Structure 1
Amino acid sequence: MTVLEMFSQSGILTLLGMGVVFFFLIIMILAMIALHAVVHALKWDAEPAGEQPVAAPSVSVPAEDSGAVVAAIAAVLKDKKAL
């Protein structure tokens, strides 16, 4: 087998592999579009009317704790400057 024949065969295999991947991607996109249409037609994408999203409670830090945090940060920064 000559080098030219090997390049020809490798080119054909490359194009064939790229074609298979492209064909699979087209099929996958069409399946996703069809699934979207089915879900939308059956109204599975709508939220139930009785359930509303609940906001997460906010966490507040008491004033005395924030002073301790500031002191701890200051101590760490002081140690870093000493190095």
Structure 2
Amino acid sequence: PEKSFVGTAPAVTVVREDKNGTKASATYTPTVTPVTPTATPVETTDIQGATQTGKPVFTEGDRRVPMNDDVPATFDDGSTTKSVDGVG
């Protein structure tokens, strides 16, 4: 299926015929369930001026669909680092 497809696809029927002309058929209806990774947030506390770092823990949604750890995690705007106005 397309990479973004989830849900039930239209059914397909497969027909097989043997040497004697006897037919057998079967219907297949695939259903694709979404795989949604999860994340555990991280908070840090320290004195003013100290560099603070934290790395959330990301967990794959299904072991059969591993996460690509070679691609860095990003914020909604596509950046990989973030400063909070007036804070840091």
Give the number of the structure with larger relative contact order, counting CA–CA contacts within 8 Å between residues 6 or more apart. 2
TM range (shorter): under 0.3
Using the size of structure 2 for normalisation, the TM-score is 0.19
User: By percentage of residues, which structure has more strand?
Assistant: 2
Using the size of structure 1 for normalisation, the TM-score is 0.19
